[in-house]
């Protein structure tokens, strides 16, 4: 990305950079991943590329399943980056919820939050019906634009039929909500209700989920 003046950095993280720019006359987001210096170079290169591939596969698999994701434009393993549609003027679910929570007594705001919980539950239910595990379900990895929700950040996604993997996916989301948002209890309950409406095999997953949660609690108590 070095000699490309067309792009501006919008996020600099430990694992990579996010750029905004134009590619083939379209607004794009470029996600570049670094190799980490302290790891074994060859292993590291493989891991980085696996995450880029996982990202591309997750985006496409979700799209095929009818879940909104950015369009995928280019995967460049050599430059360790991926070009995708810029969901312009979107907000993260995180910012959206925080804004609504500023006035949580407002009935209109409550309705918006409930609607979002419903949408998230429905989409995650659909993902799991299609055996797609997102791997990093947080409110920063969900974008909202014009009443539609888009999922992003699929670097840890994989395909699995196991109820355990789906349960852990839900648990990651619950933990993320608890650590980011007030009133997340009610919000997550709504997500689970909608998840159940959209996933015929939900019972096994929910049972597993309760187990994963108990394991998590025990671990927290021990230290
Ligand atoms: N396709 C996109 N359209 C619009 N904004 C995006 C897009 N992809 C990423 N972003 C923005 O960049 C942030 C980080 O992207 P993400 O894929 O989650 O990378 P990270 O691994 O750094 O979390 C997102 O929270 C969002 O604000
Ligand atoms: Mg992210």
| 8-85 against 91-222: fold identical | no
Q: From ligand 2's centre to the CA of 92, what distance in Å?
A: 10
Name, in order, each residue with C-beta under 8 angstroms of 90's C-beta and a sequence gap of 6 or more. Answer: 143, 144, 145, 150
Q: From ligand 1's centre to the CA of 197, what distance in Å?
A: 29
- The Cβ-side half-sphere exposure at 22, using a 13 Å CA radius, reads 5
Q: Determine which residue's CA is closest to atom 11 belonging to ligand 1.
A: 18
State the sign of the Cα–Cα–Cα–Cα dihedral 105, 109, 111, 117. Answer: negative
Atom of ligand 1 nearest to the CA of 87: 3
Residue at token pair 């407002």? 106
Separation between Cα atoms, residue 132 and residue 126, nearest integer Å: 9
List 136, 153, 169, 185, catalytic entry: 136
Neighbouring CB atoms inside 10 A of 6's CB total: 12
Q: What is the pTM of this model?
A: 0.95
Q: What DSSP letter does each residue of 167-187 carry, written as one string?
A: HHHHHHHHHHHHHH-TTHHHH
Tell me if residue 2 is catalytic. Answer: no
Q: From ligand 2's centre to the CA of 141, what distance in Å?
A: 5
Give the CATH superfamily of 8-85. Answer: Phosphorylase Kinase; domain 1 (3.30.200.20)
Atom of ligand 1 nearest to the CA of 84: 1
The secondary structure element, H or E, covering residue 12 is strand 8-12
Phi/psi of residue 131, each to 5°?
60, 30
Domain layout of the chain by residue ranges: 8-85, 91-222
For the 91-222 domain, the top CATH level (class) is: mainly alpha
| Each residue's pLDDT expressed in tens, for the chain with a length of 223 residues | 655 568 999 999 988 999 999 999 999 999 999 887 767 888 888 999 999 999 999 999 999 999 999 999 999 999 999 999 999 999 999 999 999 999 988 999 999 999 999 999 999 999 999 999 999 999 999 999 999 999 999 999 999 999 999 999 999 999 999 999 988 999 999 999 999 999 999 999 999 999 999 998 887 777 5
């Amino acid at each position: 990305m070095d000699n490309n003046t067309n792009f501006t950095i919008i996020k600099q993280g430990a694992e990579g950079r996010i750029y905004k720019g134009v590619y083939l006359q379209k607004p794009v987001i470029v996600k570049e991943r670094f190799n980490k210096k302290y790891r074994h170079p060859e292993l590291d290169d493989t891991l980085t590329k696996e995450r880029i591939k996982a990202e591309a596969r997750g985006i496409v698999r979700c799209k095929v399943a009818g879940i909104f994701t950015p369009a995928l434009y280019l995967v460049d393993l050599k430059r360790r980056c991926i070009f995708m549609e810029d969901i312009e003027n979107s907000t993260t679910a995180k910012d959206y919820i925080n804004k609504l929570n500023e006035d949580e007594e407002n009935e209109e705001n409550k309705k918006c939050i409930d609607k979002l919980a419903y949408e998230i539950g429905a989409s995650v239910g659909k993902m799991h019906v299609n055996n797609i595990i997102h791997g990093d379900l947080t409110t920063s990895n969900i974008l909202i634009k014009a009443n539609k929700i888009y999922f992003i950040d699929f670097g840890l996604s994989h395909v699995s039929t196991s109820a355990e993997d789906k349960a852990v996916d839900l648990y990651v989301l619950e933990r993320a909500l608890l650590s980011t948002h007030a009133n997340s209890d009610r919000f997550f309950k709504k997500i689970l209700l909608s998840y159940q409406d959209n996933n015929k095999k939900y019972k096994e997953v929910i049972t597993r989920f309760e187990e994963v949660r108990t394991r998590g609690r025990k671990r927290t108590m021990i230290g």
